[in-house]
Amino acid sequence: MTQQQWTVDRIPDQTKRVFVVTGANSGLGLATTRALARRGGHVILAVRDERKGRRAVAEITAEQPDADLEVRHLDLADLDSVRAFADRLHTDHRHLDVLVNNAGVMAPPRSLSAQGHELQFACNHLGHFALTGLLLDLLALGDNPRVVTVSSVNHRSRSARLRFDDLHGERRYSPMGQYNQSKLANAVFGQELHRRLTEAGSPVRSLLAHPGYTATNLQSGTPVGLYRVVLGRIGNPLFAQRPDRGALPQLYAASEPGLEGGQFIGPDGPAELRGAPTQVRPSPTASDPETGRRLWEVSEQLTDVRFTFPTRA
């Protein structure tokens, strides 16, 4: 299924379609927002720092004055913020066509979210789980609606394990191990969401994407010294692709006609580190229904969000 020549120019017209992109002010999120806006989409930049969000809008509109953009505050590490964002979106919009669960944090020293959950698990997984559940009714009213959850090739790492007896790293904390766990959680969630949407007969489709190795401030911005040097200062210049290239898999998943739910889109190059969008395989753990059920139940308990799966009449 490799799309050797697929570029953003092949994104169909997105006029009248509404997108939410989390973490849209930089990196993959900014590249995704820019590409969708160029094709006429109305893109809601869901960002923790609204000042940076407005700066991103100014950057895009300088190139494309007619870009249809709005900035809204969303702190995925705070479930109260997630609920407030969803409430406001219900007030202001009658439907949502695509939710791109893109934002993330990587390898910080151990810290806790507003609700006392380990920060990476809270921001990368729990916040997106809650956001998806709270917006599912708006998505069901959309045109060809999709949830695109951005994972990582790291979800296959040896250290990527869902430690259900220590999800928050209270007994043992490894910055990268906890990051890899959160990216595995993204993949498990995307697959379990697909199963549940299919069983319910929902028009919403769940897809996964990963960017390969892409140069963003996710690596260079990590506060852990060794990881910052190896991933950001050394790895990025030597091996990483640009954000506009790294964003292609999630753009493909968000916009390509005819894609089926449950597909995982990543780069087609060696080790899936770079290249054109293609369908890739999730890890066996990510595809395991029992793991999916268990993570879903834990996520419901930790977020107090229960999904309702509306079907289109």
Q: What is the pLDDT of residues 19-40, one digit of tens each?
A: 999 999 999 999 999 999 999 9
Amino acid in the structure at residue 222:
T
Residues whose CB is less than 8 angstroms from the CB of residue 172 and which lie 6 or more positions away in sequence, other chains included: 166
Confidence of residue 52 (pLDDT cuts 50, 70, 90): very high
In this prediction, residue 238 carries a pLDDT of: 55
**160-204 tens-digit pLDDT:** 999 999 999 999 999 999 999 999 999 999 999 999 999 999 999
Region label for 23, one of left (φ > 0), alpha (ψ between -120 and 50) or beta (otherwise): left
Give the chain's mean pLDDT.
Answer: 93
Q: How many CA atoms lie within 13 A of 108 on its CB side?
A: 17
| Cβ–Cβ < 8 Å for 261, 198 | yes
Is-catalytic flag, 179? yes
Q: Has residue 296 got a pLDDT over 70?
A: yes
Of 253, 274, 264, nearest to 21 (Cα)? 253
pTM comes to 0.93
Which position among 173, 179, 227, 252 bears the catalytic label? 179
Q: Has residue 214 got a pLDDT over 50?
A: yes
Q: Once rounded to an integer, what is the mean pLDDT over residues 153-158?
A: 95
In this prediction, residue 200 carries a pLDDT of: 96
Beta strands at 264-267 and 146-150: parallel, antiparallel or unpaired? unpaired
Confidence of residue 3 (pLDDT cuts 50, 70, 90): very low
Q: Helix (H, G, I), strand (E, B), or coil: what is residue 287?
A: helix
Q: Phi first, then psi: what are they for 19, rounded to 5°?
A: -120, 145
The Cα–Cα gap between 22 and 128 comes to: 9
